[in-house]
Structure 1
Amino acid sequence: MGELPQAVPEGPLRSFVSLGMFIIDQFSYLDENGHPTAKSSSEQIGGGGTYATIGARIWLPPHEVGMIVDRGHDFPSNIQSRLDSYGEGMWLYRDDASRGTTRALNEYRGDLRGFKYLTPRVRITPRDLIDTTLDRPNMLHFICSPSRASAIMSEVHERESWTPTSIYEPIPDRCVPEELPALIKVLPFISILSPNADEAHALLSMPQPPTKASVEEACQRFLNLGVGPNGEGAVVIRSGAMGAYVATRAKGGQWVPAYWGAHEAHRVVDVTGAGNAFLGGLAAGLHFTRGDVYKATLYATVSSSFIIEQEGLPILSRREEANGTIVELWNGETPQSRLELLMDTKVI
């Protein structure tokens, strides 16, 4: 696709920042008749921005990634310790003792998942990054409605000499046909558009369920609407077990397989946050491949593979090699080893 635009350095610069919110997730499990099940779960770290930031952190050191975390008076110590384990420098904390930390309920009823906020949301915009350690990142990730995406990009354009790679993830409940006109309006300012397959089909009024052929059609339709300046942006449609389809007008489309295939379904424990982490991994991949969105999608796929292996976020540990080098392990493995295996399976 060619190199995506980069920011003008002004002091220490982050490669990736997400405008997504930090949320403490609570869970309720019901059977199909609405009765509580025996399954239970404690509070977990949540929020699409959090998962996206961890997806990038899997590849990048803490000082190169970041997001704002709004801490209320009830911020749990165990969650604080878990965040610190990934690198204290990546979180920009805003403390407000007058309010509680943002919480949400994930309610599972049979195979259906519901989501609702239990506390008021504290939205984050590019203006919140001004004069902080997260100011002017090279890549900016956001999850929101198309109309709010326009407002975010307007704030970006207020800043002279800042042209970040914008990675836009439409929020699921606003992926409806009525939002398509607003999406078309903001697409010329988006570097990478990435709905999942269901969301893409819903926005375009295409029949469900998605197939590989229909995902390819959806991707082309978005490109035809004009993604990125001069239509030079990319569309990446995250398609679960089918993999991810990435396309640009210049180079066409390419499928990248899911890391865990159908014969390894037992490795998939919980897909919550996998799509968000995918986009953080995509940003890290863009960093390492100098803007090659096709190769970057391999990094994205590896990031999501670590997320789905357990409920909640993956475990980071460290190993000292014989030469004294410290190697980071995620769920006991290095991301690089998975990347090499994926590249052996599907060379781009």
Structure 2
Amino acid sequence: MSQDEDDKSVSNRVVTLEQFIVDTFTRVGNDGIERPVDQPDQIGGGGTYAIIGGRMFVPPSKLGMIIDYTPDTLPTNMRNALKEFGEEMWVFRERTDGHPTARAVNKYDEQARHFQYLTKPLLLTPNSLLGTTIGNPLPSTIHFISYPAPRAEIILSEVFQLKQRRAWNPIIIWEPEEENLVVLERIARNIHVIGPNHNEILRLFPMTIPPSSSESELREIYSQACNRIALLRPKIGVVIRCGHLGCCYSSTPPLDMKPEVKWIPAYWNPQRTGWKQGKVVDPTGAGNAFMGGLAAALNMNLSLDEAVIWGSVAASFTIEQDGLPVLTKNADKELWNGEDPLKRVKIMKKTREDI
């Protein structure tokens, strides 16, 4: 009997198919010239932030990510910093294709962020997990970003193959970056949660938003987009991450009902005590951390209503500094930036009840 035939078990684990990236930073000035930023290289990659977002709520044994690297291009301090979150989360795997550890530049232009690879990335798929500690047994939930597109249909085809061979049927969390509406319409029913951000929505549904649009007008635009995606019938629902506006979301409704679009605010907003004390430092990775927190909640069989709160809390810790939040321990309790994430979950639940 082959290993594929024999191993049909599934681990209770959230795994990202995104890669580790060393991030560097530049900023485009008012004169249009791009200049380096006085900021050291840092741990990056949407998958890394997603897994750390999940790590705020679950132990490392419930998470997983492959770190493809070469020894001379992955700084020792970064490797050690990753291990501090839990060694069993990571599969360190030396690259053999002649390329260094993936590296990218994040270019900031006023409020916009542009991303560009500086080295060749390794695009992971479900088959990349096979033979690793996070792929044998296969995970119960997978997360991926379709950048660069197209990736979604390739990943789904391997999920279907592994479903035939190993009876694998994971929860699939998808950030449809750079994918187009035709692909979205074709595969939505095979995805559990479709989670674009507000910029990706504008690529999926080309529309002109006047610079003077009010927050209420923006909310209406995003709500309409959320409704349209929910009608494509993903297995669980759709979540649109809208930056400082929070997020709108909808569970997929029964066939005879219309979607119900709901909103929750971002944890850090002008009404929150501390907002004006410089709590918001850098939004890099916040949206990915949101999806990781959401994935961890759904993997624990929590509702979408609860999952978006976990995601919002994960994002709130991510924006409080450059790079990843700091994990410490106080007695038997883990603290992130000195605070218990579940405390913020309770605060957000109370806020929702008061609305």
TM range (shorter): 0.7 to 0.9
Look up the match of 1:4.
Answer: none
Residue 29 of structure 1 deviates from its aligned partner by 2.7
For the aligned residues, what is the CA RMSD? 2.1
Look up the match of 1:258.
Answer: 266
Quote the Cα distance in structure 1 between the aligned partners of 2:112 and 2:251.
34
Secondary structure at 1:262's aligned position in 2?
coil
Alignment of 1:184-333 (within 5 A): 184-208=185-209, 211-228=218-235, 233-250=236-253, 252-263=260-271, 264=275, 266-288=278-300, 290-320=301-331, 326-333=332-339
Partners of 1:66 and 1:134 within 8 A in 2: yes
Quote the Cα distance in structure 2 between the aligned partners of 1:211 and 1:51.
27
Bigger shift: residues 144-153 or 27-36: 27-36
How many residues in Structure 1 have an aligned counterpart in Structure 2? 325
Secondary structure at 1:252's aligned position in 2?
coil
Quote the Cα distance in structure 2 between the aligned partners of 1:121 and 1:17.
18
Point out where structure 2 has 5 or more consecutive residues left out of the alignment.
1-6, 211-216, 254-258
Quote the Cα distance in structure 1 between the aligned partners of 2:206 and 2:112.
21
Look up the match of 1:138.
Answer: 140
Q: Which runs of 4+ in 1 moved over 6 A?
A: none
Which residue identity lines up with residue 289 of structure 2 in the other structure? A
Quote the Cα distance in structure 1 between the aligned partners of 2:121 and 2:351.
42
Look up the match of 1:18.
Answer: 16
| CA pair 252-30 structure 1, distance change in 2 beyond 3 A | closer
CA deviation vs aligned residue, 1:177-219 (integer Å, no higher than 9, x gap): xx21122111111110010122113211233267111111101
Secondary structure at 2:207's aligned position in 1?
coil
Residue 227 of structure 1 deviates from its aligned partner by 2.3
Look up the match of 1:3.
Answer: none
Quote the Cα distance in structure 2 between the aligned partners of 1:93 and 1:245.
36
Residue 336 of structure 1 deviates from its aligned partner by 0.9
Aligned identity (percent) is: 38
Give the TM-score of the pair, scaled to structure 2. 0.86
Residue 118 of structure 1 deviates from its aligned partner by 0.8
| CA pair 200-93 structure 1, distance change in 2 beyond 3 A | same
Partners of 2:17 and 2:144 within 8 A in 1: yes
Quote the Cα distance in structure 2 between the aligned partners of 1:245 and 1:38.
35
Point out where structure 1 has 5 or more consecutive residues left out of the alignment.
1-8, 321-325
| CA pair 92-14 structure 1, distance change in 2 beyond 3 A | farther
Give the TM-score of the pair, scaled to structure 1. 0.88
Partners of 1:20 and 1:48 within 8 A in 2: yes
Quote the Cα distance in structure 2 between the aligned partners of 1:109 and 1:94.
35
Which residue identity lines up with residue 344 of structure 1 in the other structure? K
Residue 293 of structure 1 deviates from its aligned partner by 0.9
Residue 111 of structure 1 deviates from its aligned partner by 4.0
Partners of 1:15 and 1:137 within 8 A in 2: yes
Residue 35 of structure 1 deviates from its aligned partner by 4.7
| CA pair 248-12 structure 1, distance change in 2 beyond 3 A | closer
Which residue identity lines up with residue 227 of structure 2 in the other structure? Q
Secondary structure at 1:124's aligned position in 2?
coil
Quote the Cα distance in structure 2 between the aligned partners of 1:300 and 1:170.
17
Quote the Cα distance in structure 1 between the aligned partners of 2:194 and 2:299.
17
| CA pair 77-283 structure 1, distance change in 2 beyond 3 A | same
Residue 78 of structure 1 deviates from its aligned partner by 0.8
